[in-house]
Amino acid sequence: MLAFAVMDVRIELPEKEREIRKIHYPDSQVLDLAGFSKAREGIRESNFSLAFRFLDSEARKDLETFYLFCRVVDDIVDETADKDLARSRLGLWQDYFSGDSLPSAFPHPLGKDLRSLVQRRAIPLSLFREIISGMEADLHPVRIADTEALERYCYLAAGAVGRVCIPIFGGKIDSLGAYADRLGEAFQLTNILRDLKNDAQRNRIYLPADRMRHHGVAEKDVLEGNLHPGFIRLLDEVWERSESDYRKAREMLSDPEKWRIMQAARVMETFYRDIHRKIREAGFDVYRRRIRLGPVRKGWLLMRFWMASRLDRTSGRPSSGKPGDG
């Protein structure tokens, strides 16, 4: 049995709603400090790290804090073999974000930095709850009923993440939230297409079941990588939806100020969209080879983005919006 100590922490609520929350201080197995150390080591390999170059020092620190949170909760789901332990670990974070404000005491090393981030950037705690909800769904075998359910999953997995990033980048969620949702869906659909094999090995199918039936695709086809013509048509349909999302997201940044604020998001888009194109060029055969970008390709894309960004600053308006542009 896991050992817990209990501490009462008072939430700052209106007097009539004030209550005592019990924040559980778990043993080291639930805290998983080794997982936190692993997340820190993985920063350089993440797409988030590419955006760091285009932020000031305070924003870089905040984005690193948020990346570590996302990586920690994602690894809880993907890397913890004991699902009961995974639920306990995820439950720690669910408790932390369950109130109207964050408790001043929290046993995880990220607690202090997350509390500072949320307070300084005025980030709604509901976004963190949504992110955790999306992670929690992956603790079970995943099946997506229809396109509407896929849209919801993409929002939880990526749209909510993008919304948290907006104030870190210096923008307002009210004016840029729809952009984050659209770009987040594009990113997540790209992830779904790229990770078909890895997700199948975890008994996760993110393709909508109604569209699978329409194209004559069985669960066995997805789990075993049987890329028959109907399966290819389904994957191309998902790819086209992602392509449309990338275009619509870019159209939402027609205002030069929004274009400038979301520069860090646009550099991530540059890399994701290149992976997106390579998936189709490979005929969607992600079961036999992993689609990834090597360091030379990343360096070339980053240089191209930087050059396009300089042209933007000179002309005072966003670039043409062609794939791969800054």
Say if residue 57's pLDDT is above 70. yes
Output the pLDDT for position 26.
53
What are the phi and psi torsion angles at 95 (to 5°)? -65, -40
Which are the contacts of 323, defined by CB distance < 8 A and separation ≥ 6? 246, 273, 277
Looking at the fold, whether 290 and 199 belong to one and the same domain comes out as yes
> Is 36 within the bounds of a domain?
yes
Output the pLDDT for position 210.
97
Output the pLDDT for position 126.
97
User: Is 240 in contact with 291 (CB distance < 8 Å)?
Assistant: no
Looking at the fold, whether 103 and 163 belong to one and the same domain comes out as no
Condensed to tens digits (0 to 9), the pLDDT of residues 114-143 reads: 999 999 999 999 999 999 999 999 999 999
Say if residue 223's pLDDT is above 90. yes
Nearest-angstrom CA–CA distance, 255 and 167: 17
Last residue of a domain, one of 83, 117, 140: 140
Looking at the fold, whether 180 and 276 belong to one and the same domain comes out as yes
**CB-hemisphere CA count at 13 Å for 316?**
0
Output the pLDDT for position 245.
98
Condensed to tens digits (0 to 9), the pLDDT of residues 250-307 reads: 999 999 999 999 999 999 999 999 999 999 999 999 999 999 988 898 888 888 887 7
Looking at the fold, whether 136 and 147 belong to one and the same domain comes out as no
Please state whether beta strands 204-208 and 142-144 pair in parallel, antiparallel, or not at all (unpaired): parallel
Looking at the fold, whether 198 and 265 belong to one and the same domain comes out as yes
Output the pLDDT for position 58.
95
Which are the contacts of 206, defined by CB distance < 8 A and separation ≥ 6? 142, 144, 150, 153, 192, 199
Looking at the fold, whether 183 and 258 belong to one and the same domain comes out as yes
Radius of gyration (C-alpha) of the chain in whole angstroms: 21
More confident residue, 287 or 318: 287
Residue 101's pLDDT band, with cuts at 50, 70 and 90, is very high
Looking at the fold, whether 249 and 207 belong to one and the same domain comes out as yes
Which are the contacts of 278, defined by CB distance < 8 A and separation ≥ 6? 291, 293
Say if residue 91's pLDDT is above 90. yes
Say if residue 325's pLDDT is above 90. no
Looking at the fold, whether 178 and 273 belong to one and the same domain comes out as yes
Residue 47's pLDDT band, with cuts at 50, 70 and 90, is low
Nearest-angstrom CA–CA distance, 92 and 134: 15
Output the pLDDT for position 170.
96
Looking at the fold, whether 170 and 56 belong to one and the same domain comes out as no
Nearest-angstrom CA–CA distance, 289 and 166: 34
Looking at the fold, whether 188 and 325 belong to one and the same domain comes out as yes
Residue 126 belongs to what domain range? 29-140
Enter the pTM of the model.
Answer: 0.84
Question: How many domains does one find in the chain?
Answer: 2
**CB-hemisphere CA count at 13 Å for 151?**
7
Residue 74's pLDDT band, with cuts at 50, 70 and 90, is very high
What's 302's domain CATH number? 1.10.600.10
Looking at the fold, whether 177 and 319 belong to one and the same domain comes out as yes
Output the pLDDT for position 312.
62
Say if residue 19's pLDDT is above 70. no
Nearest-angstrom CA–CA distance, 278 and 115: 39
* Cβ neighbours, 10 Å, residue 213: 11
For residue 73, give the nearest of 39, 104, 37 by alpha carbon.
39
Q: Dig out the tokens for 324 from the structure.
A: 């791969």
